[in-house]
Amino acid sequence: MCQSNKIRPIFIAGSERSGTTLLRLMLHAHPRIAIPPQTKYLRKLYKRRLLFGNLQKEKNREKLAEWFFDHFDKSTKLNDLEIDQDSVRKGILESKSLGAALAVPWICYAQEHGKERWGDKRPFYIHHMEKLRQLYPDAQIIHLIRDPRDVIASLKKMPWWNNSLNYSAFNWKLAIRHGINARMNTKLDEYLELRYEDLLAEPERELQRVCQFLSETYDPAMLQFQGIAQRAVPDYKMGWHSATREPLNASSVGRWEKDFSTEEISIVEWATGEEMVQLGYTLSKVQEPDFQARNSYEKEARTFKTRQRRLEMTDSIFSFFYRWETDYRMG
């Protein structure tokens, strides 16, 4: 039965292309921890929570279980987990909170791999920390941070990323600000920041720090993650995760110097420079962007903020009608 064993869940968050898949594999290589391939069901179901209502009621749990059963496909990536659908269904029927129900596939995945601790990896969690902690109050969250210039240079090459340079810079900046807010409003054993560059330069030291945060014993197997990448990373993702099957190296650090134009460096550093300096990244000596470039960035940032406010307002309305607050929490 895929039900909670009262062990604290682990969540990996950060901007896209910040190394979250690498860290996920390193943790998955630990003998007690299982972090599955990235799925897309949590946000879909959270937005639809009003459709299922109070999960203390059996008929509502049956409705939710039916949704899961009908969505083991590419739209949710649940099929990437290679877990037994009947076990997921049974686990959801026994779950009496939204958090517990949403965790069932992750717990099934951990049990499938003979692991005690479970968790998940989604970059966008960094933008929804409050909601994540509402679902899992005892969660431990690891925020992986990477130089925004390398993040955006990498994103530009991704077939699934169709956003502008301005949007990408603001998205990174917002992730860092959300991380700072989490750092200020959580306990030391609830939130950890980790730099991608440090993880590559001193992997054993940084993984020991991660294990100390998680109250787990460091295991050297965490550095041998390449052996599990073959099964743990779906083949169709290898186009952008091929490095997970290779030895660790720092060749991806500073790649922006070759891939970025002077104008691109200028706007990214102007937009994110304050946060970069706070995090220990060195700015180049390029000139500030001209008025037209700055104005273009500010315009896109305002559009982004407006869209976010609308989404937050819609979610607040949903939460007003979703009165079963205890039904969120896993416990």
Task: Give the pLDDT confidence score for residue 240 in this predicted structure.
Answer: 45
Domain positions in the chain are: 10-327
96: nearest Cα among 294, 330, 266, 271: 330
* 3-state secondary structure string across the chain: CCCCCCCCCEEEECCCCCCHHHHHHHHHCCCCEECCCCCCHHHHHHHCHHHHCCCCCHHHHHHHHHHHHHCCCCCCCHHHHCCCHHHHHHHHHCCCCHHHHHHHHHHHHHHHCCCCEEEEECHHHHHCHHHHHHHCCCCEEEEEECCHHHHHHHHCCCCCCCCCHHHHHHHHHHHHHHHHHHHHHCCCCCEEEEEHHHHHHCHHHHHHHHHHHHCCCCCHHHHCCHHHHHHHCCHHHHHHHHHHHCCCCCCCCCCHHHHCCHHHHHHHHHHHHHHHHHCCCCCCCCCCCCHHHHHHHHHHHHHHHHHHHHHHHHHHHHHHHCCCHHHCCCC
Higher pLDDT, 18 or 246: 18
Residues 30-72 have pLDDT tens digits of: 999 999 998 989 888 888 888 888 888 999 999 999 998 888 8
Q: Is 10-327 a CATH 3.40.50.300 domain?
A: yes
Instruction: Say if residue 242's pLDDT is above 70.
Output: no
Diameter of the chain measured on Cα atoms: 63
Instruction: Say if residue 241's pLDDT is above 60.
Output: no
Kindly give, in sequence order, each residue whose CB lies less than 8 Å from that of residue 177, ignoring residues fewer than 6 positions away. 275
d(CA 329, CA 134): 6
d(CA 331, CA 137): 9
Read off the pLDDT band of 291 (50, 70, 90).
very high
Instruction: Say if residue 305's pLDDT is above 60.
Output: yes
Length of the chain: 331
d(CA 248, CA 235): 20
- The encoded tokens of residue 195 equal 């730099």
Residues 107-153 have pLDDT tens digits of: 999 999 999 999 999 998 999 998 899 899 999 999 999 999 999 99
d(CA 241, CA 124): 18
- The encoded tokens of residue 238 equal 């290898």
Residues 162-188 have pLDDT tens digits of: 889 999 999 999 999 999 999 999 999
| Distant-in-sequence contacts of 277-280, Cβ < 8 A, 24+ apart | 279/145, 279/176, 279/195, 280/195
pTM of the model: 0.91
